[in-house]
């Protein structure tokens, strides 16, 4: 058994374990865990300095998750946009392939909170998904997501990569993973040697706070970069975590120093159970504006909203605000004018 597999076996998954380590009300956590599971790796747990800090907020269940009655479990209409189970075909030339339903840490703000880690969600049938991609020559870009693809074994992941690599019209493969942040020991020399065989391959990871950039996570990213894999980062704007311009600037600068290019800052998706993390779009614009001129342009990512209803991502900079700031009008990639309301 590899070190990362041992770490997964030693994760904190129960309210009782958490209460034994911190002064928390186990029953409050238990109510949340019955609906939205908890898993925290020993490594990520070690980054917590005190209850309520930015690391804690991302991984420890909060009763507020059960008090969100306005937002949708699937605001991006992923299930409607799935031609076969576990494959999301929203844009003409690319698909999202859900190859895993598990993560090393169950983030409390997860966009697939409805299913990741839950018994009711299953990964995509690989043969069916690959057959669909092979039958649609317009698909040139495949994004492996989940859950976290890097929680698959090397052999299982390579079988998927090899099947996709054999499809002539698939030009690039991307992997979305938080393993370098939450389980850096997963990025082994063996894994990176295997990934290197399937270039062009891109990895988008998910750092949200400067304290997540550690010696261990930097080493994990260096292994991937040394294998010729281009690394990008997608952060989510989270209240109490990174909605401070100074925090965000430090994060972006630290990412560049470990060869990870800031790619997106996401406005929180309108996912049920995550409303307590929400910031106003205007506040997000202030955070991004504070980056420009105060740090390298390389450190300034795109600030985007993934529109409800599967309408695609739009840059916030192109939005037109209503007089009271509660509504935005944006134009998506299809030329549709769409109204986005603050929640």
Q: For residue range 54-78, what is the model confidence (pLDDT) as tens digits? A: 999 999 999 999 999 889 999 999 9
In a domain, 324, yes or no: no
Quick check: is 148 in a domain? yes
Bridge pairing between strands 141-145 and 94-98 = parallel
Tokens linked to 108: 């409390």
> In the chain, what are the helix, strand and coil shares in percent, each to the nearest 5?
35, 20, 45
Q: Which domain holds residue 140?
A: 68-311
Q: Tell me the CA distances in angstroms from 43 to 181, 185, 217, 218, 299, one per residue in order.
A: 9, 9, 10, 14, 27
Residue 56 domain-assigned (yes or no): no
Return the half-sphere exposure (C-beta side, CA atoms, 13 A cut-off) of residue 106.
24
* Number of separate domains in the chain: 1
Count CB atoms within 10 A of the CB of residue 153: 12
Among all residues, which ones are annotated catalytic? 90-91, 94, 103, 107, 110, 112, 269, 306, 313
For residue 211, being part of any structural domain is answered with yes
Whether 146 is in a domain gets the answer: yes
110 is in an annotated binding site: yes
Stronger pLDDT, 19 or 188, i.e. the higher one: 188
Q: What is the pLDDT of residues 267-304, one digit of tens each?
A: 999 999 999 999 999 999 999 999 999 899 999 999 99
Q: Is residue 26 part of a domain?
A: no
**Which pLDDT value is given to residue 26?**
75
Whether 16 is in a domain gets the answer: no
CATH number, domain at 172?
Answer: 3.20.20.70
Is 49 in contact with 214 (CB distance < 8 Å)? Answer: no
Spatial distance between the Cα atoms of 300 and 233, rounded to a whole number of angstroms:
11
Q: d(Cα 339, Cα 322) in Å, to the nearest integer?
A: 10
DSSP 8-state symbol, 124:
P
Q: What is the pLDDT of residues 209-254, one digit of tens each?
A: 999 999 999 999 999 999 999 999 999 999 999 999 999 999 999 9
Output the pLDDT for position 1.
Answer: 85
| 241, HSE (Cβ side, Cα atoms, 13 Å) | 24
Looking at 32-171, which runs of residues are DSSP E strands? 87-91, 94-98, 141-145
Confidence bin at 119 (pLDDT 50/70/90)? low
> What pLDDT is recorded for position 120?
63
Is 263 part of any domain?
yes
């Amino acid at each position: 058994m590899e070190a990362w597999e041992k770490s997964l076996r030693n994760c904190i998954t129960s309210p009782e374990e958490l209460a034994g380590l911190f002064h928390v009300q186990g029953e409050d956590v238990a109510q949340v865990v019955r609906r939205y599971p908890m898993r925290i790796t020993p490594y990520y747990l070690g980054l917590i300095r005190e209850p309520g800090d930015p690391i804690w907020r991302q991984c420890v269940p909060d009763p507020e998750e059960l008090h969100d009655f306005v937002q949708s479990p699937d605001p991006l209409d992923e299930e409607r946009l799935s031609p076969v189970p576990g494959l999301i075909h929203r844009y003409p030339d690319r698909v999202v392939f859900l190859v895993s339903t598990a993560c090393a840490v169950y983030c409390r703000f997860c966009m697939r909170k409805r299913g990741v880690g839950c018994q009711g969600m299953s990964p995509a049938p690989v043969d069916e998904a690959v057959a669909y991609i092979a039958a649609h020559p317009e698909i040139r870009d495949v994004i492996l997501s989940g859950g976290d693809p890097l929680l698959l074994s090397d052999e299982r992941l390579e079988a998927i990569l090899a099947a996709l690599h054999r499809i002539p019209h698939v030009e690039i493969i991307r992997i979305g993973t938080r393993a370098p942040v939450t389980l850096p020991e997963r990025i082994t020399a063996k894994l990176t040697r295997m990934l290197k065989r399937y270039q062009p391959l891109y990895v988008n990871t998910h750092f949200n706070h400067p304290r997540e950039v550690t010696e261990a996570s930097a080493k994990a990213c260096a292994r991937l970069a040394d294998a010729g894999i281009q690394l990008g980062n997608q952060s989510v704007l989270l209240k109490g975590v990174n909605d401070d311009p100074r925090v965000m600037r430090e994060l972006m600068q630290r990412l560049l120093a470990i060869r990870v290019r800031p790619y997106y800052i996401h406005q929180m998706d309108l996912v049920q159970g995550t409303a307590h993390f929400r910031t106003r779009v205007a506040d997000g614009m202030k955070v991004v504006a504070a980056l420009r001129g105060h740090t390298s342009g390389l450190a300034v990512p795109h600030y985007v909203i993934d529109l409800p209803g599967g309408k695609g991502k739009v840059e916030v900079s192109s939005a037109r605000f209503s007089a009271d700031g509660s509504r935005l009008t944006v134009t998506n990639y299809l030329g549709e004018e769409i109204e986005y309301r603050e929640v």
